[in-house]
Structure 1
Amino acid sequence: MLVSLDELDRETAVAAVRALEVELFGSHAWSEASIRQELDAPARMYVFNITDTRDDDAIRPADVRGFAGYWYDGDDAEIMDVGVGKAYQRQGIAASMMTWLIDRACEQGARRILLEVSVVNDPAIALYRRFGFENIGLRRRYYQPEGIDAHVMALDLEPRIVGFQSAGERRDTTDAEHKEQTTHTDHEETR
């Protein structure tokens, strides 16, 4: 079951995120202070996947199987963090949370969603590509202390402005077609 941050007790959310961060990200785990700051920051949207079977209405940190969140700046949404407990991976939890995030970003009017992902995190890269994210850049030595690079990926939620196209559209054209499209677009923009 998915619940938003607003539906969850703040202390439960902090404890759950911290436990999953440590389990999943080890030396890259956010500190408790960083988690509190992130969850309290303006323009944040977080979703939590919790177990459906509870004897009472109280949600405990151990009930949280995964979390994901983004920051929205008025144009772009940027995914800040996604984590699913190891025992619950490969069950569609990350995909359901990504769908929730994308739907909320669309409702808020985001034009695209950005994220960074480790170049060695093949499962996460595959998930993001399934949703239509494309590589748009590389951040060298982004993850420290190991110095692992990060892909910068984007998902366009709105069509591009005239004269621009997504990376996927560019790959489908030849250089001659691209030159013709660019020349045609440049000509129309000068009218």
Structure 2
Amino acid sequence: MRLENGTFESDAWSPGMMARDLADPSCYYLVAFPPDDPDTIVAYAGVLAPGGAESDIQTIAVAEEARGHGLGRTLMQSLISEARKRGARTVFLEVRADNPGAQRLYQRLGFDEIGVRRGYYQPDGVDAVVMRLTIPAPVTAPAAPATAEEDPA
């Protein structure tokens, strides 16, 4: 909750909201921490993927000191992968209209803007940009055959 409240000062989730999401088997959450300090969470992210064709990114937060190293991208890619495993073909999210950095990350991951929810974030009254990703099908390819030097058999 320390990271939640520090990141989302005016519209942070309550402890009850967070606890319900974490306890929901339809949700999947990841946390990131320094290898030498597992008690210090520097990022987290969650997706609601109940097994249908659609899923929703619930939240993502990266501590200011951990930003700029690809952690948010890695968490998002992991959530998208988990949603795909659970049968989702589409991922939705809302992002604050006044957060262009997050919007750029989502666009780079293939999300498209599909609408705006006016005054969604309260108490600030900030609009939410609604974005959607059609999850690309996994790409598989046969392994390259071993060369004679690699496999002398």
TM-score using structure 1 length: 0.68
- Give the number of the structure whose alpha-carbon radius of gyration is greater: 1
1:46-78 deviation line (CA, Å, top 9, x unaligned) = 111121225xxxx31x2x110000101311110
Cα distance in structure 1, aligned partners of 2:81 and 2:21: 21
1:104-155 deviation line (CA, Å, top 9, x unaligned) = 1111120100000011101100000000000111101000111111111000
Map of 2:24 onto structure 1: 41
More helix by share: 1
Q: Which amino acid aligns with 2:68?
A: R
Map of 2:75 onto structure 1: 97
Q: Which amino acid aligns with 2:76?
A: M
Where 2:132 maps in the other structure, the secondary structure is strand
Where 1:114 maps in the other structure, the secondary structure is strand
Where 1:90 maps in the other structure, the secondary structure is coil
Q: Which amino acid aligns with 2:106?
A: Y
Percent identity at matched positions?
Answer: 35
Cα distance in structure 1, aligned partners of 2:87 and 2:15: 31
Gaps of 5+ in 1: 1-17, 160-191
Map of 1:32 onto structure 2: 15
Cα distance in structure 1, aligned partners of 2:83 and 2:124: 32
Map of 1:11 onto structure 2: none
Contact 1:21 1:83 in 2 (8 A): yes
In the TM superposition, 1:1-191 aligns within 5 A as 18-54=1-37, 59-60=38-39, 62=40, 64-73=41-50, 74-157=52-135
Aligned residue pairs, count: 136
Cα distance in structure 1, aligned partners of 2:83 and 2:25: 15
Contact 1:112 1:158 in 2 (8 A): no
Contact 2:93 2:130 in 1 (8 A): yes
Q: Which amino acid aligns with 1:21?
A: E
Where 1:42 maps in the other structure, the secondary structure is coil
Give the aligned CA root-mean-square deviation in angstroms: 1.3
Q: Which amino acid aligns with 1:88?
A: A
Which runs of 4 or more aligned residues in structure 1 lie more than 6 Å from their structure 2 counterparts after TM superposition? Answer: none
Gaps of 5+ in 2: 138-153
TM-score using structure 2 length: 0.84
Instruction: Please state how far the C-alpha of 1:158 moved relative to its aligned partner.
Output: 5.3
User: Higher mean Cα deviation, 111-120 or 44-53?
Assistant: 44-53
Larger relative contact order (CA 8 Å, sep ≥ 6): 2
